[in-house]
Amino acid sequence: DIQMTQSPSSLSASVGDRVTITCRTSQGIRNDLGWYQQKPGKAPKRLIFAVSSLQSGVPSRFSGSGSGTEFTLTISSLQPEDSATYYCLQHYTYPYTFGQGTKLEIK
Amino acid sequence: EVQLVESGGALVQPGGSLRLSCAASGFSFNSYWMNWVRQAPGKGLEWVANIKSDGSEKNYVDSVKGRFTISRDNAKNSLSLQMNSLRAEDTAVYYCTRLLNNGYPDYWGQGTLVTVSS
């Protein structure tokens, strides 16, 4: 199975800050990586697919990058509504695997 | 508008069975792979199973192989997950998701809670 190492597990940042979340995979996954945002009691919401493609309707302050085995989700200017848990997902091979999640809090 | 609505979650005893359903609307259901993902209380996301658009291919995470069966009825725009020999560790919210061609889950339902406890 492909292991996903997501970091940090939690972070606290201020409105306007630039935030970066990293996902490392145990082997190469081409560009079969996506990011999700989940708020308490809600289903995950799609943010980014194919490493860097922004889903329709997602604010442009969200971006994704990376290649090989290291990928990042960046929020360029944090907003209060970005408080959530973020997950990466590899869908390159079975079983699909998620990162452990990053809980983002607003100071 | 794409909608996925899960149902069937319940409290069930260990060793019991349960069938989850997902009603899909707003897209050509028979053109898409579909997926189940679960989330144990307070934990992260875990992929469970998926099924090809015509039902001819199915994939499962090892922990549910031989116990869970994914199926679909394209005439009814419906996805199902038959869960047998349930264990406490199967307790979770189960989400139905649609997959893009590259395997990326884009749309998610609201989830249905399965609790396995005596």
Confidence of residue B12 (pLDDT cuts 50, 70, 90): very high
Q: How many CB pairs under 8 A join A and B?
A: 58
Which of these, A76, A87, A52, A55, lies nearest to A66 by C-alpha position? A52
Peptide bond into A95 cis (omega under 30): yes
What number of other Cβ atoms are within 10 A of residue B45's Cβ?
25
Instruction: Tell me which residues of chain A have a pLDDT lower than 50.
Output: none
Confidence of residue B101 (pLDDT cuts 50, 70, 90): confident
Contact at CB, B46 and A98, closer than 8 angstroms: yes
Contact at CB, A45 and B108, closer than 8 angstroms: yes
pLDDT on residue B112:
98
* Pairing relationship of beta strands B112-116 and B11-12 according to DSSP bridges: parallel
Which candidate from B45, B50, B102 shows the least CB-CB separation from A44? B45
Summarize pLDDT for B23-79 with one digit per residue, the tens: 999 999 999 999 999 999 999 999 999 999 999 999 999 999 999 999 999 999 999
Which B-chain residues 37-76 have CB contacts (< 8 A) with chain A?
Answer: 44-47, 50, 59, 61-62
Is the pLDDT confidence value at B102 over 90?
no
Handedness of CA A57, A101, A38, B71 (dihedral sign): positive
Contact at CB, B110 and A100, closer than 8 angstroms: no
pLDDT on residue A53:
95
B27 touches chain A (CB under 8 A): no
A17 touches chain B (CB under 8 A): no
Confidence of residue B6 (pLDDT cuts 50, 70, 90): very high
pLDDT on residue A107:
94
Residue-wise burial string across B62-89, b where 16 or more C-beta atoms lie within 10 A, e elsewhere: eebeeebbbebeeeebbbbbebeebeee
Percent with pLDDT over 70 in chain B: 100
Task: Judge whether B94 and A34 are in contact, CB under 8 Å.
Answer: no
Contact at CB, A89 and B45, closer than 8 angstroms: yes
pLDDT on residue B20:
98
pLDDT on residue A42:
97
Summarize pLDDT for B73-100 with one digit per residue, the tens: 999 999 999 999 999 999 999 999 999 8
Contact at CB, B104 and A50, closer than 8 angstroms: yes
What six digits make up the tokens of B41? 């209380």
Distance CA B109, CA A85 (A): 18
Q: Which of A96, A98, A103 to mutate to test the interface with B (most CBs of B within 10 A)?
A: A96
